[in-house]
Structure 1
Amino acid sequence: MIVLGLTGSIGMGKSTTAKMFADFGVPVHESDEAVHRLYRGKAVPLVEAAFPGTTADGVVDRVKLAERVLGDQAALKRLEAIVHPLVRADATAFLKRQHTAGAPLAVVDIPLLYETGGEERVDQVAVVTAEPQVQRERVLSRPGMTEEKFEKILVQQVPDAAKRRMADFVIDTGEGMDAARQAVADIIERLTGKRPEGA
C-alpha cells in the first residue's frame, strides 16, 4: 500500500482536496477530523491539565484554547506535545486498517507535515497550494479570523514555496476545483496505475 501525505499551508484548500481523494474512493485520514474527535475524548483531560479552564462538559473549548496558545510559543509547544502523538496514533491505526483491507493507496492529511518531520512517515507527499492573495481572502473570510491571527499562524508554517519544492506532487486549488480534481485523479493514476472512476 502506498501512503500519500497531503499537506499545505492554511487556506490552501487542503480539506477540499482531501475530500476529492475520498470522492474517488481513496481512504483518507483527516487530521482536523481526528482532532475534533480527540477534543471530545482522549485529549480532554490532558488539555485541561495543561491549560486549566479550556474544557467544559467533557469537550475542549477551541476558542478558549486558541486564546491561550496563539502567539505563545511555549504554550503552543505544550499543546502540540499533547495533540500530535494522539493524532499520529490515530493515523497509524487507520493505516493498519487500510493495509489489512487491501487498499492500494491511502492518504494521510497532515497540516504541519514538513514542520513535524511527517515526510519520514509517508511514501510520497502532495502539497496543496494557491496564490497568496487567494489564500489571504479564504483565511480572512473565516469566522473570528483577523489579520493578526493569520500572520501568527503563517509564521509557524514552512513557506509555501519551500513546501512546493520538497513535494512529489503539487495541487493548485487557485486554478479552480475542476483543475484540482483532475490533478487529484492524475496523482491516483500515477500511484496506483489505474484511472479513478468518474475522472
Structure 2
Amino acid sequence: MTAPPPPRRLGLTGSIGAGKSTVAALLRAWGLTVLDADEQAREVTRDPAVLTEIAAAFPGVLRGGELDRAALAAEVFGDPQRLAVLNAITHPRVRARMEALEREAAERGEPWVVQDIPLLFEGGLAGHMNAVLVVDAPLTLRVARVMARSGLTEAEVMARDARQMPAEEKRRRATVVLENHGDLEALEAQVDGALKRLGIQPPVACDQQEESPGPG
C-alpha cells in the first residue's frame, strides 16, 4: 500500500510574549492540526529513560523523580554549551514525535499541518516549512504580557528576548506577519486572511460543499 503524501507544513513562530499560543488556538479552531514542539518536549521529559539522561548531565534537577523545569532552565540559560547538551538529549526525540504526529495527519488526508516551534528560525527549521507565520507585537507590550503571566522581572524578560533572533529579522523572513497588538477579533481576521492568502481551506468547508444542494 502506498503511503499517503506528507502534508504541507505551516510554520508558526514569534518572539516571547507575541501571542503565538493564541494564534495556535485560532488555527486549531479553524480545523488545522497544530503540532506543538514545546508540548512534545514536555512529553519527552516525562520519559523515565530521558529523565535518567538529564539527571546524569544536570545533577540536582530532579525533585521526587520529576523534572524541576525551573532548575533545569537556570542550568542552561545563558550557557550555550550546557544548552547543547540538553538539546542533544531531547531534540531527536521531539523530532521523532513530531514526525509520527505528521504521519498520522497524512493518514487522515490532511493537506496541511501547523508546526508550532518557538525557535523555528534559530533552529534552522524554516527551510523545512512551506510557509511561515510570524506573530509579533511591540516590545513593551510583549514584555508586559510575559511579566503578567510569569512573574518574571522586566530585566529577565528582556534577557530572554535578547537570546532570540530579533523580531525585525523574523518579520523579514516570514511569509505572513500577524500583528497582535489589538483585540482577539482583529487577530482572528488576520489569521483568516493569512490562511486564505496561502490557499488553506478549513476541513469543514469541504464537507459543507459536498452537502450543499446543486442548482435547480
Structure 1 length-normalised TM = 0.91
The letter of the residue matching 2:41 is: V
C-alpha separation in 2, matches of 1:30 and 1:161: 23
Query: Which shifted more, 34-43 or 187-196?
Result: 187-196
Task: State the SS of the aligned residue for 1:127.
Answer: strand
2:143 and 2:158 in contact (8 A); partners too? no
Query: Which shifted more, 39-48 or 130-139?
Result: 39-48
Closer, same or farther: CA 83–146 of 1 in aligned 2, 3 Å: farther
How far off is 1:184 after superposition? 1.4
Corresponding position: 1:3 with 2:43: no
Query: Which shifted more, 88-97 or 187-196?
Result: 187-196
Task: State the SS of the aligned residue for 1:89.
Answer: helix
Closer, same or farther: CA 197–177 of 1 in aligned 2, 3 Å: farther
Corresponding position: 1:75 with 2:82: yes
1:105 and 1:191 in contact (8 A); partners too? no
Corresponding position of 1:194: 201
C-alpha separation in 1, matches of 2:200 and 2:87: 37
RMSD value over aligned CA atoms? Answer: 1.9
How far off is 1:196 after superposition? 7.1
How far off is 1:117 after superposition? 0.5
Query: Which shifted more, 158-167 or 88-97?
Result: 88-97
Corresponding position: 1:17 with 2:16: no
C-alpha separation in 1, matches of 2:156 and 2:50: 24
- State which structure, 1 or 2, has the greater radius of gyration over its C-alpha atoms: 2
Match of 1:90 among 97, 121, 124: 97
Corresponding position: 1:104 with 2:133: no
For structure 1, which runs of at least 5 residues remain unmatched after alignment?
none
Corresponding position: 1:53 with 2:60: yes
The percentage of counterpart residues that share the same residue type is 37
Alignment of 1:18-167 (within 5 A): 18-41=24-47, 43-167=50-174
The letter of the residue matching 1:135 is: R
How far off is 1:100 after superposition? 1.3
For structure 2, which runs of at least 5 residues remain unmatched after alignment?
1-6, 206-216
Question: When the two structures are aligned, how many residues end up with a matched partner?
Answer: 198
Please list the CA deviations of residues 18-65 of structure 1 after superposition, one character each: whole Å capped at 9, or x if unmatched.
111001110001122112212212532221121011123442110111
1:26 and 1:105 in contact (8 A); partners too? yes
Structure 2 length-normalised TM = 0.84
How far off is 1:182 after superposition? 1.3
Task: State the SS of the aligned residue for 1:107.
Answer: strand
